[in-house]
Amino acid sequence: MPRFILLALCAICVSLVGGCAALKLPQPQWPSVGASAPVGTPAWWKKHKKHAVFDPGKGFRVDGVEGYFDENGRPINARVAKVVDKGDSGGGLLGDAEFQKRVSTIKESVGLGPDHQQAQADFDAAEELFRREKYGEAAKLYKQAAAGWPDSQLEQDAMFKQAESYFFAARYAAAEKAYEKLIRKYPNTAHLDKIVTRQFSIAHYWEQYHNYRPRWVTTPNVFNKTLPMFDTVGRAMKTYENIRLNDPTGPLADDAIMASANSYFLRGRYLDADEQYDLLRKEYPRSEHQFEAHLLGLKCKMNKYQGPDYDGTPLEEAKQLVKQLKVQFAGKLTSEQKQLVVEADAKLNRELALREFNMGRHFENIEWYGSAKMYYAQVLEDYPNTPLAEQARERLAAIEGEPDAPKSMLDPVLNVLPESAERRAIAQVPMINDRQTRLASAVEDQPQTSGGDAARGATIRK
């Protein structure tokens, strides 16, 4: 029985070594008598750590060995970008920091840990392949080099060149994913400007391709490596958003917002387009797209409005945009655009007047004549040049003698009850009825003109 167990252990060791060779992985390094561990490895650092001298600002120094080392014995030969939020990745057991540390320790103990010399060799070989435009092979070596020297400048450069290899190989989905992976680990990378430029090009290509050949979100892409697997235009919009989030003060942040807003606008998604135009107007006041964001945002808000029975906020916001276009961008408006702005302003006035008039009709129908008078008078005061002004004047004349509020069956009972201090205090507050009376009387005093000039000539005397 012991002999069988010994044979089984030998077979496992042979298969492990053979499997590593087949997968082109580093073979386990077994300790040998009299052999010294390479510089920078955990075994070497364990032997020399007690005698290492720390120089502030430089690192640990070992006599007889060139360079400086960190607290784990790894060579310090390059400045590494700051790693942000590397603690809890939120990936369950596999994302736990302590679990990953234990796995790394086990891998290092069997010779599968980081190999700095091999990583540098892989990076140099990948650079040669990249220069020869063998991007597919280069991407594999860049990935291997990055894994061989984690948390280093070499890893950062290798991750960037891996993404570049995918980009020049026209594998845009893989390239965009690799760029985003690099930014997540190194938000302050020196390659940020080039990454944002590449991402913008990829998103623009995906958007234009969808406009040329649209397809359903659930339609898979199997053969075209330039496109994502699903939802081409959705991935384009997400990439535009990543550009703004990753580099909010960069030169392409406002361009990305404008591109996504225009895409939503052309596809009739006015709610999403209006949100992007609003973001551009508020967050990037010096953007060259301000004029277009105001003009197209006005169109979006008017298309968002669903009628007098729904929220009127889009109308109020559209009125503000009309005012800004007339004042801030008067010199940029062409004659045709000026006419469109004037027509939009007139339409907004009609819609706002209709909302006020409908509210007056509502309170008139439920016999709250005081509120109805207020809304009718508001139409005359704010929108005297609309067709509804004359109708509002007629309704005011029709309900002139009606009580402000309907009578209740409880009024006789309430009148015989003693008046409380709260009721006496409320009675001293000037009520809105006084304003309604003044407005109604002002309407009666208006000079009447003949024909359609009656509505246009009505004004409020305060």
pLDDT at 77: 54
- Whether this model's pTM surpasses 0.85: no
What percent of the chain shows pLDDT beyond 90? 52
pLDDT at 63: 84
Q: Is the pLDDT of residue 34 over 60?
A: no
Mean pLDDT of 200-220: 93
pLDDT at 166: 97
Mean pLDDT of 432-454: 47
Range in 55-64, 137-146, 368-377, 418-427 with the lowest mean pLDDT: 418-427
Mean pLDDT of 13-18: 48
Mean pLDDT of 25-41: 53
Q: Is the pLDDT of residue 423 over 60?
A: yes
Q: Is the pLDDT of residue 33 over 50?
A: no
Range in 48-52, 143-147, 151-155 with the lowest mean pLDDT: 48-52
Q: Is the pLDDT of residue 78 over 50?
A: no
Nearest to 356 by CA among 308, 315, 396, 428: 308
